[in-house]
């Protein structure tokens, strides 16, 4: 019996599953100590009055086994929106079945159908299995760019808060 992979948009009832995928991804990346998200926070951010991101679930024979969380960004050089993939995760037992490829194919098709000029994401330098997977799909690293981030007290200070 062949395994059926389906991709579907997440709904508010999936918030618990989404949070578990986020925690599983963080554990894989050795960053579980950084996860402070709650179901309530995700519910508001994904399904509230102004959704900030979208989530699709990958299901194997109807059971969620992976997810992709993404949002639109904008390229001034292209003059077009893009899709930024924040998280992509497939449970270990579901890897090797084409689930990750299906998620990225869905995202690429969505980017094209929405008129986006690009699909991009970041990957940890040590994550060789993911790097090989992405390169096999035709993705190329942007070695000439460095990502910067401001969070916590530094963000508040920059915003002028005391």
Asked if residue 72 lies in contact with residue 82, where contact means CB atoms within 8 angstroms, the answer is yes
The angle at the Cα of 137, spanning 20 to 35, to the nearest 5 degrees, equals 20
Q: Which of 28, 84, 134, 148 is catalytic?
A: 134
DSSP result, 98-162: SHHHHHHHHHHHHHHHTT-S-EEE---TT-HHHHHHHHHTT----TT-------HHHHHHHTT--
Asked about 134 being catalytic, the answer comes back as yes
The pair of structure tokens assigned to 159 is 């915003």
Positions marked catalytic: 134
């Amino acid at each position: 019996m062949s395994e059926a992979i389906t991709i579907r948009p997440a709904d508010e009832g999936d918030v618990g599953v989404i949070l578990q995928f986020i925690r599983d991804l963080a554990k894989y990346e050795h960053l579980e100590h950084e996860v402070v998200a709650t179901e309530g926070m995700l519910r508001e951010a994904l399904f509230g009055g102004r959704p900030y991101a979208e989530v699709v679930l990958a299901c194997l024979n109807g059971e969620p086994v992976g997810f992709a969380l993404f949002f639109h960004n904008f390229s001034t050089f292209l003059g077009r929106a893009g899709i930024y993939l924040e998280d992509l995760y497939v449970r270990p037992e579901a890897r090797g079945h084409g689930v990750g490829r299906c998620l990225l194919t869905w995202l690429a098709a969505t980017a094209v159908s929405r008129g986006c000029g690009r699909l991009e994401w970041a990957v940890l330098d040590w994550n060789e299995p993911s790097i090989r997977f992405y390169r096999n799909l035709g993705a190329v690293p942007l070695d000439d760019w460095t990502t910067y981030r401001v969070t916590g007290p530094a963000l508040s200070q920059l915003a002028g808060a005391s």
